[in-house]
Amino acid sequence: MFKLAHISDIHLGPLPALTVRELASKRITGYLNWHRNRRKHLFPHALDMVLDALKAEAPDHLAITGDLVNLATNVEIHKVTDWLAEAGAPLDTSVVPGNHDAYVPGAHDRVVEAWYDYMRGDDDPLIWHADHKLFPYIRRRGPVALIGCSTSIATPPFSASGYFSARQARETANLLKAAGEEGLFRVVMIHHPPIRGAASRHKRMIGIRRFAGAIRTGGAELVLHGHTHLNTLYWLTHKQRKVPVVGISSASQGPGGKKPAAGYNLFSIEGEAGNWQVDWKRFIVKSEDEPLALDHQERLFGA
């Protein structure tokens, strides 16, 4: 049995002091939003509780689907680099970026360079080169293939949309097809939910149809995403194929807010190609004084 854990939207705090130059950009809107709203509900103790619970669970692999920082300042990027070292080893932890990780122009490349060991695919170079088209990447771990996609782009103020390109769709389909031929259980990691209506217009993913086409052409068993800070289950359907699309709340969300409290998904994967069995459990923070509690469980597919 292979145990795959999933967390998202770390939004590692607290927000560092920003210079006037750093604030002279889209960051000013995020800075004000943090101090007016976000910081009231995101706090590190919830994230610590999630990590402690994950370490006790000892999954075989951890998937993190974006938004590790808030405003993508250099200080935040360095802090997340240190945090990732605590969360798990690069070979056992896979990351894709989110819209906050590309908050301003140039931020996407800086986070990829800093966190490259957690995003580098099996066949990617050992050292990051800015002209290397990293996404999608593939990592094979036991019976599982993790395909990491990116919707991470810099957007104007008051926009948090993502973009999935035609090139990425073609290459994702090719990776999925190859992994299927190897008999692997295929997990696609992406930040924005690839489901129409799952996020509001200014936060939506552009390229949903392209993503669905890649899944239809290449095949997949599971899609993991973040972005909405919600615990969700959708399905991508095509003829007889149904692919579960699972989201998770922010890993730093405290209990008692408008959004669900922090938690993690845990998938137990058994079987072989054509005969997979997947059990899904979701654990959440109930209070600061209690261990994470089982919030949901079901068999996604299998006998």
Please state the pTM of the whole predicted model.
0.93
CA atoms within 13 A on the CB side of 118: 28
For residue 152, CA distances in Å to 76, 194, 268 come to: 17, 13, 29
Each residue's pLDDT tens digit, 24-49 = 566 666 555 655 666 556 666 899 99
Q: Binning pLDDT at 50, 70 and 90, where does residue 136 land?
A: very high
Q: Which of 30-34, 102-106, 150-154 has the weakest average pLDDT? A: 30-34
Q: In angstroms, rounded to a whole number, what is the distance separating the alpha carbons of residues 146 and 206?
A: 22
Q: Name the 3-class secondary structure at 65.
A: strand
User: Do strands 263-272 and 241-247 pair parallel, antiparallel, or not at all (unpaired)?
Assistant: unpaired
- pLDDT at residue number 209: 97
Q: Binning pLDDT at 50, 70 and 90, where does residue 256 land?
A: confident
Report the Cα 31 to chain-centroid distance in Å: 23
Percent of all residues in the chain with a pLDDT value above 70, rounded to a whole number = 89
Name the residue type at position 201.
R
Q: Where is pLDDT greater, at 281 or 132?
A: 281
- pLDDT at residue number 128: 82
CB 70 within 8 A of CB 45: no
- pLDDT at residue number 37: 62
What SS3 string covers 274-294? Answer: CEEEEEEEEEECCCCCCCCEE
Mean pLDDT, residues 246-272 taken together: 94
Q: Where is pLDDT greater, at 150 or 256?
A: 150
Report which DSSP code applies to 239. Answer: T
Each residue's pLDDT tens digit, 52-91 = 999 999 999 999 999 999 988 899 999 999 999 999 999 9
The CATH class of the 2-301 domain is alpha beta
Q: Is-cis flag, bond preceding 14, omega within 30? A: yes
- pLDDT at residue number 172: 98
Q: In angstroms, rounded to a whole number, what is the distance separating the alpha carbons of residues 71 and 53?
A: 27
For residue 130, CA distances in Å to 74, 108, 109 come to: 17, 11, 7
pLDDT at 17 over 80: no
CB 292 within 8 A of CB 284: yes
Mean pLDDT, residues 212-226 taken together: 97
CB 224 within 8 A of CB 188: yes
Q: Where is pLDDT greater, at 128 or 195?
A: 195
